[in-house]
Structure 1
Amino acid sequence: MPLTAESAAQQIQDRLKDIQQQIHIVDEERRRAENSISTLVRSLQTNNAKVKPLLKASMLETSQEEATIRAALAKIHEIRSIRNERRIQARNAGNKEAIRRGALMKMVQLSAQTLPLFVSKPGERAPALCGAIPAEGNYVAKVGDNVAALAKGIDEEENWILAEVVQFLQRQNKYDVIDIDEEQKDRHVLSKRKVIPLPLMRANPETDGHALFPKDTVVMALYPQTTCFYKAIVHRLPATATEEYDVLFEDSSYMNGYAEPLPVAQRYVIAYRPTKKGASSGSGNLSSA
């Protein structure tokens, strides 16, 4: 059943109320946990025999706080899904949004900044499509997901562009995607091997460094203020969950063949995939890209 604007707004409002309640609960749980930890520390300092039960209580309270935070994050994810569903419905109904270039670039950047952060539990490893971890072989990107797509332009040259999935054609094993660039808005039907799903979650460098590309890895990265992916080398990894990679884009106008480092968000740094004619390898001067 199609989601109406009214029902979508109500669902979002309900979830915002839930999040507000959960924030208050988290605040209470945190204060309680801090008091328990303070009591535990005092007991350790005085060799109190009640240390073990106090430790168990502190661990339980911390787990409860974690569960509440995860529940709030789940509500945020639901809100994103509802908004995305409404946007897709509006597009399918023929409603076109005219987005200026500057606004589009801000949306691209905001999408990367608000990408959910994977918070691992002890012993848990980051899943597929978290940071640098690729999708599994049988994975199919969902309608509305952003992908890197190897598409032909006006000059018939193939380039890796930022696109959105319109549908997956099961029988043909092909994607129907649309260029997110408002100036183009071209539709492309591409084989699955010409479409790379983008990360659905950010990796936390402090807990899941294995889910990041190592330094000096050859990758494809979205060149700042464009909607095209180019060949680059990882120069510096993000040190915190909010930081970006620094990458060196291939550029023949520099003596060493690479430009000065530029920041690119985790969402837009993906495994390098060569093309037949070296398309999107970043050859040439990218300073004007």
Structure 2
Amino acid sequence: MPLTAEVAAIQVQERLTSIQGLIHAIDNERRRNENNLNNLTRLQEKYGPDEKSNSAQHKLRSQYKTCMNDAIQEESLIRDALAKIQEIRNIRNERRIQARNAGNKETIRRGALMKMLQISAQTLPLFVSKPDEKTPPLVGAIPADSSYIAKPGDIVAALVKGLEDEDSWILAEIVSFNASQNKYEVDDIDETKDRHVLSKRRIVPLPLMRANPETDAHALFPKGTMVMALYPQTTCFYKAIINNLPETATADYELLFEDASYPEGYSPPLLVAQRYVIAFKHTKKSGNVSS
């Protein structure tokens, strides 16, 4: 059943109300946690590192356990709030897809499109693993499973035919997937009327979540890796080398793009968000930035 504007507005408002309540709950939990952390600090100062008595060890263990439980509760509230934010994103995306299917696709100026792509990358959900939790596909550099089917509205890298029959990787939006033909229908993100029908092997899903360098560094491309990345202020992917990894959850990769116009054969270091960096794919005439 189509999601009407009225129903969507009600659903978004319900989630905003929930988020407001969760923010208050997080703040209250954090205040309470600060008191317990202060109590732990006082116990540590009182007994010191050399205190071995059973009574002291029991009090310290008890306070450590209290602080750990506090942290677990605070984490749960934060994850609940982030889940509500993602639900709002999904509702708005569903409305946008419905408008497009109804022939109401808006025309976005290039400057606004570049800003939108930047914000989309910055606000991509952050995956923070729990102890012993395996990083799932489409987090950072972890690729999608071979059976994965991208959903309508998802942003992907698509290999299309360009001028002189040359293959080019572009940023595109999934319109539909035909399971019997194993083909996607996609729209060029930079051209409102440029639609392509492509086989599944010519589509690479982009990350759905960012990897946290502090907890999931293994989900980032290693330094020196050859990748494909969205060249800044364009909607095309080009060959590049990882020069430096993101050091924080909000930082970008530092890349060297293959570019024959420079004596070294590579561009100066450029920053590209995790969302727009994917594994390198060998393609017909897969050229560099200046080609």
Question: TM-score scaled to structure 2, two decimals?
Answer: 0.94
Query: What is the match of residue 216 of structure 2?
Result: 208
1:245 CA displacement: 0.6
Q: Give the whole-Å Cα distance in 2 for the aligned partners of 1:46 and 1:241.
A: 37
Quote the residue 2:53 is aligned against: none
Task: Name the aligned partner's letter for residue 129 of structure 2.
Answer: S
Q: Residue 257 of structure 2 contacts residue 289 of structure 2 at CA under 8 Å; is this kept in 1?
A: no
Could you tell me whether the CA contact under 8 Å between 1:150 and 1:160 is conserved in 2?
yes
* Counterpart pick for 1:238 among 238, 242, 246: 246
Question: Any idea what SS the aligned residue of 1:54 has?
Answer: helix
Q: Indicate the residue corresponding to 1:79 in structure 2.
A: 88
Aligned residue for 1:156?
165
Shift of 1:261: 0.9
Is the Cα contact below 8 Å between 1:125 and 1:208 reproduced in 2?
Answer: no
- Which of 282, 286, 289 aligns to 2:288? It is 282
* Aligned partner of 1:267 among 262, 275, 280: 275
2:225 counterpart of 1:217:
yes
Size of the aligned set, in residue pairs, is 282
Matched, 1:52 2:58: no
Q: Any stretches of 5+ residues in structure 2 without a counterpart?
A: 48-55
1:162 and 1:228 in contact (8 A); partners too:
yes
Pairwise CA RMSD:
1.3
- Structure-2 residue corresponding to 1:12: 12
Note the C-alpha offset of 1:283: 5.3
| 1:169 aligned onto 2:178 | yes
Residues 1:179 and 2:181 are matched in the alignment: no
* Runs of 4+ residues deviating >6 angstroms: none
What amino acid is the match of 2:128?
V
Deviations 1:72-114 (Å, cap 9, x if unpaired)? 0000010000000000000001112011010011111111000
Structure 2 distance, partners of 1:31, 1:58, is 12
Identity %: 65
Q: Is the 8 A contact 2:126 2:212 kept in 1?
A: yes
Q: Give me the whole-angstrom Cα distance separating, in 2, the residues matched to 1:230 and 1:151.
A: 13
- Report the Cα distance in structure 2 between the residues aligned to 1:22 and 1:206, rounded to whole angstroms: 25
Contact persistence 1:220–1:269 (CA under 8 A): yes
**Superposition deviation, residue 155 in structure 1:** 4.0
1:56 Cα deviation from its structure 2 partner: 1.8
Mapped pair 1:115 → 2:121: no
Contact preservation (8 Å) 2:245, 2:252: yes
1:50 is paired with a residue whose SS is helix
Which amino acid in the other structure matches residue 270 of structure 2?
L
Secondary structure of the 2:165 match is: coil
Instruction: Give the TM-score normalised by the residue count of structure 1.
Output: 0.94
1:99 and 2:108 are equivalent in the alignment: yes
